[in-house]
Structure 1
């Protein structure tokens, strides 16, 4: 049913597209014929007759409606400004017949304007023709993408099969002992951890009871389930299309709800069926993922179950952390003696940690963004994936969160900012900073089922659900490209990729690592994004404990650490000192994407060697898109813009302006290197090589070679598709918008803080020595001379990360400013009476649905437009208005937007 629906839908769109292209061709030919006739009739006319002929010709070419007297009718065409001009010109021409003060120069100006209108429409048709070729020639919109299996692909498949079809050997006794020591045994007070674990078990029991309620599925439920599936990476393009059809049909949703309500009421009889097909998909980073292609009803059912358990565990683990007994707070208690001494010397009563402090901000950010980050906050929340926004595989070469969407890449970018800010602060304040980073190797493939079962059982999950989870994990599998006589094999290890329930199992297991790390380091924060783990501290010993805990966790759970992605650095406050690293800590750099954390500066540098590797890969991917300019642009946007830019790290004050300059220089080098030898897009068969200096120059050459397009404006490359452009994305626009608002030198903030702190200390000391009397205090130090000698600067600043010191610049202000991401406005303003403003106003007047139809793009309201598009329209808009009479390249009715939208919704495929 889904396949038929999808094919009919696609076929209808192709028919609509073909009709629009035929209509475009007819209109273009008719206009050119009329224009040629008009121009040939001008040769023998005097100036006035030429103007009349041109005016009548423009009215005919643009299909301007006339009234019974032959005058331009009011408000009946979409060329409003042209209508006004023609109306006025009729009166001016009548005056010019008699009035000798109308100069020849004025007549020439009127004639040039009319000739310009005759030249504008052919330009629009030429751009529409390019757009048509771009869409019509796109084979990927109608045919599957086929490639020959590469050696790397076959090796990835073989490795995956060795992982998932070979049982793990978990020492269950050791794992049980680890869990009991972590969650129950407690020498000082045996009740805190045990009570927290028991409360977790009780909440699981209550939740399971709610999941047994009948008739849980209905149209509303299914719509948020389907939305979540559509936002995931797992489904094929065909099944995405079918799901969208389901969501629009309440009758079908009702039928699906009936079936799934029966399934959830008979949970003990659920199964995958005889087998589930498998397929390999290449990611932009070069990694191959294995995806199951189960039937859609199974996907919907399992998505619902997964989301329900995800939301539950997120809240349950947050409650466990909030209890205040088991979970150690990063804000360690201030000793009573320290409180008394501060009150004595500073007349400053300290009862608790201040909420507006570095420690408070640290804890808040960690709890909000990095604690159980893979779990969902609410059922309708979606995990947002953007093509190209994924981490580069380097082993082979300030807003509140939107709880409707989770963006894993944004969380990673923010983590890099926190790490860089911490490195800057700790190295300058504590003169020591240690950071370590590691990742669990092939976590989804290697996670043992015994580990999952043991931990879920320990937390109190019932036998009914444990049996269901076991059947979910033990999938009967067979690759779609295997010979038909290949035996079905049952999965023995790992979790199905792109299933929310798999994320739940992973996070439940990792909760044990999070808690173990918290206990071992006395409240230290493990920054973890699923299988990617980061720890840093001003205490080198704490880092060593964190690493030992990670190794112990990997051992008892029978999981593996990826040592190629593991490293540790130590930074001193003195740039001339290289502090020693304990031998127990791992060797290697701290890296992410194209970034390497410098032990000298504490900031991230771009690894140009890794960039070179991916430049070669980008050129190869562009070669695979040689038959379609549309696919070429989509690939460029995902790879050159999204992938490279996200792996360079998002600009922030903690990175400094030099990082922004490095990104700009590297993007410039990428374009030079990619197009220096061309990518084989010269002819449709890819035989010709074209050398260019930029992607824009290259595309112009290709469009000229293929379609004989002349004088293509730059704006055609960058304008959104809704206005007839190619929507090529420019990394330079986004980066340059923020460059000047980034701090030139982040360490300057620490210089200002340390100066303010020293001045505050001297002022407090002077005040104490002038006015303080021990007799007036309820407590006084007893050491020799201490009562009259102001305490040391070291003691004065001991709690600067947790208390408000009333400086001109507090440390928490420094911390926040280092984490600040610049405003992307870029200082671009609009001339309210200029040509761009007029062009935008004309867009707004063209229809109330214009802004509503845009995902982003150029909007009629300047202030509602994204800063990126403001810069694009300000930079290229004047040329478009001058040459096309407005900001549209093509009449919107002629654009095949249905087919374009269908293509946009598909996931890009990557060449092996």
Structure 2
């Protein structure tokens, strides 16, 4: 494999320019290395002459430094040299030790420079190797098929090209008589709230046809398309460039205005849309559709506008539903915190909120979430918070109701997106007040013409929504919001839902069972089906009860990521569940073509495991960090069994095999972990992350729910004392909330019944337990702080680096704390690569290029 030949084939112009610039910098690394080796060899040959004095040695090496480092080197390494030599020569009271020591320091400068040239040349080769192995973007992507993708394709075709047989009259009856009409509240207030939504939707249907598309609208839609996951890297970069060109954006805006004016005539391109299957890290195949940019941006704009409308209107519905609850609790209570969390974070979470959207290229850092999926809050963080919330609610329950069980249910719909019946969603939209011109448009959108291979006949979709469309997410959310509303109205059970993944929990098992029954009823009416393999329930049992099951609830395990909830209330990592990922990780690392690909794969898998073990929050405590540390040790020992888990030895062997002429002695450990923008390889050291959190938890003194009952006793004693004093002296107004109407004091039992609705210190602990545990920063010396400032200053010059290291200051601090001494000792200075020679464009490209998981 040639590591430097990057321009011997036809490639995209931007890649060609990048290749030439990278080669230019690589050539400089090579020449510098040759120069250092030659100079060093000459020096070593001459200084071995026993007749040469220390004074002559210093002069010889200083001239070499001037030759190797130029004027900048002279200023940096030879400052005051002439003065030192002059005084030393004249001084009759000196020894050779002084000059010999000065000579040794100068030799360290030469040796450090030589090592820097060797590492920088190897760094350049590794960078160039990655670029030379990137696919020619002018060549159409060849989508390979395997048994798994073919099976997914066949299953998908069976669903989307067959129209389901449903009782649509039953669905209409349900919408008119059951939605927003509970068995308790029959006073028509619920229906009045929904009537307001219908009127607002009828008005919006008209206004959107008249509204002019702005350049900001186009940029927002382009952001959605880019973040939606449907584009390959090449088309994504093209669209990112188009987004920055004002004339292009304005042209899109005028075109979209024309398309909306002719909405009644819009349809998919007559040649159809090609479906392409792509695999993700966990092995799932999804079918994405290669639309032209104009169609994609137009549909994204329409979907976003309608999403803003329904998000706002359905939030008003939720306000109505929770009005009574909020009136019966104080503003600083657990119950109030729950309601606000449900509304602001989990209610209709897949729909974007126009008032909170931010634009700009920074959003591309997390291309797997974004506008089209979880718009306002990062989906990973939101799902992680649910893990913390379940743990908090379990531990709160165990303190408040130690003698009763607590039930947790998780559920998932089978082939949800492809299974949505078109007639069901169109009737729902009509029920919400969407006008006929829009209903006709949405019907044409749903009847997407599809083919999978060139020359294949086009077939029209009869069921399901196209993936990665804001309109599709809107339709999905509207359908499932009906289920959420139906359950909440009748049981007060809130569904913490991410798209089609459901989580709900409560101490009243009968309500949980009723909620599950209503969900299945709704699914049956709408032609949906729960995936039995992914539906589970767990009852967290009191210590005096050994076994208790509800035969009506799903019986499989409750899983969050790679964690399984036990009946004790603990989430544990079951190692057998991660073995398939580890086996695939070993194969992919073995088959990696380049060093950078190897490192990217390793980092992606480590991030995947970290994400699916759940980043630690205060509620999880050291129990969770301990099991994560032990599991990552197991992962390394399993994947790198031949080196007893040492990833660096494996990587060194890979480098030695691919670049045998560039290998020195054992490579510096710090170099592998050092930031790539500073000349390192950017390998992730997960243990710096884990121990920074673990040690924080060890050092942090937190109040837990277990400590609060004692505080209740103390607080009630204070209240009673105030009350008794008030009988004699002027009454204390702060006591009013603790008195009955007849001004008698509430009992202690009545006081503790308010723990979730009135007592603020219970809510303080509730919120504190939900907080993500901050990483503990190391104790930094002034020297360390100088290093940090130097590294950060360089990173601010590169936008991709700013995104990459955003929010990871603590990790950079640990890198400096742990490895800066080794960097300095190896290279004689921290800045071991010239910033002018860092291939910034290439690094930016690497950080925005996704791994092709389709490749076996």
Q: Please report the TM-score for the alignment, with normalisation by the length of structure 1.
A: 0.84
2:493–2:512 CA contact under 8 A, matched in 1: no
Tell whether 2:138 aligns with 1:141: no
How far off is 1:197 after superposition? Answer: 1.7
Q: Which residue of structure 2 lines up, in the alignment, with residue 608 of structure 1?
A: 575
> Partners of 1:669 and 1:354 in 2: how far apart?
48
Q: Which residue of structure 1 lines up, in the alignment, with residue 590 of structure 2?
A: 623
* SS at structure 1 position matched to 2:697: coil
> Partners of 1:453 and 1:858 in 2: how far apart?
45
How far off is 1:715 after superposition? Answer: 1.6
> Partners of 1:419 and 1:330 in 2: how far apart?
24
Q: Which residue of structure 2 lines up, in the alignment, with residue 364 of structure 1?
A: 340
1:788–1:907 Cα change, 3 Å: closer
2:329–2:757 CA contact under 8 A, matched in 1: yes
1:6–1:191 Cα change, 3 Å: farther
Q: Please report the TM-score for the alignment, with normalisation by the length of structure 2.
A: 0.89
> Partners of 2:671 and 2:818 in 1: how far apart?
12
> Partners of 1:360 and 1:184 in 2: how far apart?
22
How far off is 1:656 after superposition? Answer: 2.1
Structure 1: where are the runs of 5+ without partners? Answer: 65-76, 334-351, 391-402, 678-690, 778-786
2:351–2:375 CA contact under 8 A, matched in 1: no
> Partners of 1:880 and 1:11 in 2: how far apart?
34
* SS at structure 2 position matched to 1:740: helix
Q: Which residue of structure 1 lines up, in the alignment, with residue 851 of structure 2?
A: 908
Q: Which residue of structure 2 lines up, in the alignment, with residue 683 of structure 1?
A: none
Q: Which residue of structure 1 lines up, in the alignment, with residue 394 of structure 2?
A: 423
How far off is 1:539 after superposition? Answer: 1.0
Q: Which residue of structure 2 lines up, in the alignment, with residue 346 of structure 1?
A: none
1:196–1:818 Cα change, 3 Å: same
Q: Which residue of structure 1 lines up, in the alignment, with residue 3 of structure 2?
A: none
1:58-77 equivalences under 5 Å are 58-64=65-71, 77=72
> Partners of 1:530 and 1:45 in 2: how far apart?
78
1:404–1:123 Cα change, 3 Å: farther
1:42-57 equivalences under 5 Å are 42=47, 43=49, 44-57=51-64
> Partners of 1:404 and 1:889 in 2: how far apart?
41
How far off is 1:105 after superposition? Answer: 1.9
1:614–1:870 Cα change, 3 Å: same
1:637–1:728 CA contact under 8 A, matched in 2: yes
Equivalent residue in structure 1 for 2:613, among 620, 640, 648 = 648
* SS at structure 2 position matched to 1:727: coil
How far off is 1:146 after superposition? Answer: 6.3
How far off is 1:207 after superposition? Answer: 1.9
Q: Which residue of structure 2 lines up, in the alignment, with residue 712 of structure 1?
A: 667
Which is richer in helix? 2
1:800–1:694 Cα change, 3 Å: same
Q: Which residue of structure 1 lines up, in the alignment, with residue 161 of structure 2?
A: 165
1:21–1:121 Cα change, 3 Å: same
* SS at structure 1 position matched to 2:80: helix
> Partners of 1:517 and 1:404 in 2: how far apart?
25
> Partners of 1:371 and 1:844 in 2: how far apart?
39
Q: Which residue of structure 2 lines up, in the alignment, with residue 196 of structure 1?
A: 193
> Partners of 1:22 and 1:387 in 2: how far apart?
34
Equivalent residue in structure 2 for 1:207, among 204, 209, 217 = 204
1:618–1:639 CA contact under 8 A, matched in 2: yes
Equivalent residue in structure 2 for 1:737, among 683, 692, 696 = 692
Q: Which residue of structure 1 lines up, in the alignment, with residue 325 of structure 2?
A: 331
> Partners of 1:510 and 1:724 in 2: how far apart?
49
Q: Which residue of structure 2 lines up, in the alignment, with residue 305 of structure 1?
A: 302
Tell whether 2:629 aligns with 1:667: no
How far off is 1:405 after superposition? Answer: 5.3
1:823-902 equivalences under 5 Å are 823-824=774-775, 826-832=776-782, 834=783, 836-840=784-788, 850=797, 854-855=801-802, 866-902=809-845
How far off is 1:35 after superposition? Answer: 2.9
Tell whether 2:33 aligns with 1:8: no
Tell whether 2:443 aligns with 1:496: no
1:446–1:848 Cα change, 3 Å: closer
> Partners of 1:632 and 1:242 in 2: how far apart?
27
Equivalent residue in structure 1 for 2:680, among 711, 725, 729 = 725
CA RMSD of aligned residues (A): 3.1
- How many residues are aligned here? 817
1:381–1:406 CA contact under 8 A, matched in 2: no
Tell whether 2:563 aligns with 1:595: yes
Q: Which residue of structure 2 lines up, in the alignment, with residue 701 of structure 1?
A: 653
How far off is 1:848 after superposition? Answer: 9.9
1:508-523 equivalences under 5 Å are 508-521=478-491, 523=492
Tell whether 2:451 aligns with 1:478: yes
Q: Deviations over 1:568-605 (max 9, x none)?
A: 11123x323135233222212211111111111x1211
1:280-679 equivalences under 5 Å are 280-322=277-319, 324=320, 327-329=321-323, 331=325, 352-378=328-354, 380-381=357-358, 406-431=377-402, 432=404, 433-479=406-452, 482=453, 484-521=454-491, 523-572=492-541, 574-578=542-546, 580-600=548-568, 602-625=569-592, 627-640=593-606, 642-677=607-642
1:426–1:538 CA contact under 8 A, matched in 2: yes
How far off is 1:490 after superposition? Answer: 0.8
Tell whether 2:44 aligns with 1:39: yes
2:182–2:489 CA contact under 8 A, matched in 1: no
> Partners of 2:375 and 2:87 in 1: how far apart?
64
How far off is 1:7 after superposition? Answer: 1.7
